[in-house]
Structure 1
Amino acid sequence: MTSSADHGMPMLDDFLAYTLAGARPAASETQGACAHGARWSWLDDGVLSIEPAVREAGTRSVLVSAGIHGDETAPIELLSLLVRDIANGAAALTCRLLVILGNVDAMRDACRYRDDDLNRLFSGRHLQVPESHEAPRAAALEQAALQFFAAASSAPGARWHLDMHTAIRASAFEQFALLPHTGKPFSRAMFEWLGAARISAVLLHTTKGNTYSHFTAQACDAEACTLELGKVRPFGQNDLTRFAGADEAVRALLAGTHGDAPAQLPRVFTVIDQLTKQSDAFELLVAADVPNFTPFAKDTLLARDGDYRYTVRHDEERLVFPNATVKPGLRAGLLVVDTTDDTLSKLV
């Protein structure tokens, strides 16, 4: 089997280590060949494109990102292994691929972010915090996506973005996905892919956001999702077998071998409100370790902040991403309700 090192690029054998080391290729070494004729290009720190040997009209273009939060290490490790396997021919590639390791500086520091949550700075919000360490990276990742999808087919289902994360806390559904709000109907192909990836729940946003997947859905017309694939752990301490469902589904998508509908589609929850931390007096009235998707009954008081109160209005609301430590003005939790039957009946 041909190693990517035979092509002069040990970078591809361990893209994570190469990136964490701060290595940058010489100008004459930013492009090369993988096994089976695929061509790679190093574009920026942690940004790598790979073009398939054969590109036909309608060829799918897939952006796979990880490490938008620097401490979410398992998806970063999976993505580095995927690059290695494509480079040496162990994984097939029939589509255009853009690999992005997001907040590289935070990855090097083993922290979530330096100044600001990178996944709240897209769709131009980085312009509001020009002094932030993360602002230039958000701008660079927007441009990387725009340039990649500018060369993509505009055929239905030809543009995908999978943004892989791990959650801070436990969850009633260990692996779940979030789909951005675009105003367009949701895609059956995406839901079937999520089912194949063994994603057990999907959260539907109902307003536009500033996440990377919101940006690519809006600005690049991509089928985009954020994947939450387990818990945050340091590099080298992940049991990657726990992520096999998503890893296999990503590889099947890139190889063009995904097809049969999964036996079960995920449950679906729709956002109906959010908790907003208005001041440092904000109180989140739940246990500090409450799992994501914990249900609460009608009339339960969940949060208060001065005169602000949030009380459950529906018979059951589930709390996702509770976090009282965010900066004032930011989201401290999402409230969702089950909309499985209605959503799945309207997929296109």
Structure 2
Amino acid sequence: MLSYLEVSDGFIQLAQLPHCAQNENWLSLPNGVSIRLLDAGVLEVKPEFDSNKALVISCGIHGNETAPIEIVSHQISQIVTGSIQPKVNLLYILGNPKSMQVSQRFVALNMNRLFAGAYKNYTLNEENEYEIRRAEQLEKYVSDFFTTHSTSEKVHLDLHTAIKPSYHKTFAIRPFNPQKKRLDDNSKRLLLAMGIEAVLLHNKPSTTFSYYSSESFEAEAYTLELGKVKRFGENNLKDFSYAIRCLDALIQANDIAHFDAKELIEYKVVAEIIRNSEEFKFYIHESVENFTSFPQGYLIAEDFDYNYRVAFEREAVVFPNVNVPIGQRVAVMVTRLRDD
């Protein structure tokens, strides 16, 4: 295992082996750090000395979002070779190794619609079994990790890259939290240090990986869209320098880069556009950028049982994708929040 983890893309290679050996026994590194491989693409790291911080760094929930996978694999190689010494409890997750192998977003099911117990809503078959079982198992690994560190400060950063072009090149989604309507300044600075330009504050429970950690363990959790989807080997990691520096600082318990919290642009979700039938019509072109705005009254979509027109002075569309199954989300509509 160590021979794989010593090279920059070793964790990627190890995760994709047909029979990736699990080992729940801790392996000690020369610098006192301990690691154990819990599953294909799931590595737990324990620092030399006790820490009151527990950090989950996940990526590859969609297998074609390659840059975060490469970033995480490289960081693990630095830990194993002693180039950097982690001082917090860590759980690394490459979410969907099989979709990574075929360079696809997913194999049968969008895994980021399967968390918070949503995998239970599907009937298992030969085609979908892998992603359903995988989502269930990933929940267990996160649960075991955060339960073990129940008194720790808990953070989950789920790293993604976007398929579509975007007005904001990087942005985050903060899962619905009825107790916290807005982000505090420290949270804003964390996102800015990760290179994030804007954040969406979700308005209801969801089935994403970050929502699972937030709702179940009160973790500070985000889905982070760090840039554009590219193939393995085509990413310029200089484009992700903010995120890399921030992650390195977080795992070493160092101070992150300081930003003015007011620089972060905040949006709130005001509606989700759902496809309810084959009659569904969507009046936004598939090439439109994320965060494209539409004027009040503009007809966005209609189905047999509803139509949706822009209700606020201006609303922007995020994640438009009409090619989804009936019952799933076609787009999110957001409005910008401004300080009073």
TM-score range, shorter chain: over 0.9
Q: Counterpart in 2 of 1:12?
A: 5
Deviations 1:225-251 (A, max 9, x none): 000011111111112211111111111
Q: Does 1:40 align with 2:38?
A: no
Q: Counterpart in 2 of 1:277?
A: 275
Matched residue SS, 2:286: coil
Q: Does 1:129 align with 2:127?
A: no
Q: Counterpart in 1 of 2:66?
A: 73
Q: Does 1:234 align with 2:231?
A: yes
Q: Counterpart in 2 of 1:219?
A: 216
Q: Which amino acid aligns with 2:50?
A: R
Check conservation: 2:202, 2:269, Cα contact below 8 A. yes
**Where does structure 1 lack aligned partners over 5 or more consecutive residues?**
1-7, 343-348
Mean Cα displacement is larger for which, 237-246 or 183-192? Answer: 183-192
- What displacement does 1:50 show? 0.4
Cα distance in 1 for residues equivalent to 2:232 and 2:190 = 27
Matched residue SS, 2:339: helix
2:21 to 20, 25, 34: 25
Q: TM-score, normalised by structure 2?
A: 0.93
CA separation of 1:35 and 1:174: change in aligned 2, threshold 3 A: farther
Q: Counterpart in 2 of 1:268?
A: 266
1:326 to 321, 324, 327: 324
The alignment-based identity, stated in percent, is 33
Q: Counterpart in 1 of 2:251?
A: 254
Cα distance in 2 for residues equivalent to 1:165 and 1:259 = 21
Matched residue SS, 2:71: helix
Q: Counterpart in 1 of 2:92?
A: 99
Matches within 5 A, 1:291-330: 291-330=289-328
Check conservation: 2:246, 2:257, Cα contact below 8 A. no
2:198 to 198, 201, 218: 201
Mean Cα displacement is larger for which, 135-144 or 260-269? Answer: 260-269
- What displacement does 1:307 show? 4.7
CA RMSD of aligned residues (A): 1.7
Deviations 1:163-208 (A, max 9, x none): 0001110000000000001212244332211111221000000101
Check conservation: 1:35, 1:86, Cα contact below 8 A. no
Q: Counterpart in 1 of 2:78?
A: 85
- What displacement does 1:113 show? 1.1
CA separation of 1:24 and 1:262: change in aligned 2, threshold 3 A: same
Q: Which amino acid aligns with 2:37?
A: W
Q: Counterpart in 1 of 2:186?
A: 189
Cα distance in 1 for residues equivalent to 2:18 and 2:53 = 31
Deviations 1:103-162 (A, max 9, x none): 11111121111221100111111011141331101100000000000111425xx10000
**Where does structure 2 lack aligned partners over 5 or more consecutive residues?**
none
Q: Does 1:160 align with 2:155?
A: yes
2:112 to 115, 119, 135: 119
Check conservation: 1:35, 1:87, Cα contact below 8 A. no
Cα distance in 1 for residues equivalent to 2:175 and 2:112 = 13
Cα distance in 1 for residues equivalent to 2:50 and 2:16 = 32
Cα distance in 2 for residues equivalent to 1:75 and 1:23 = 23
2:44 to 40, 46, 49: 49
Q: Which amino acid aligns with 2:4?
A: M
Check conservation: 1:34, 1:86, Cα contact below 8 A. no
Q: Counterpart in 2 of 1:338?
A: 336
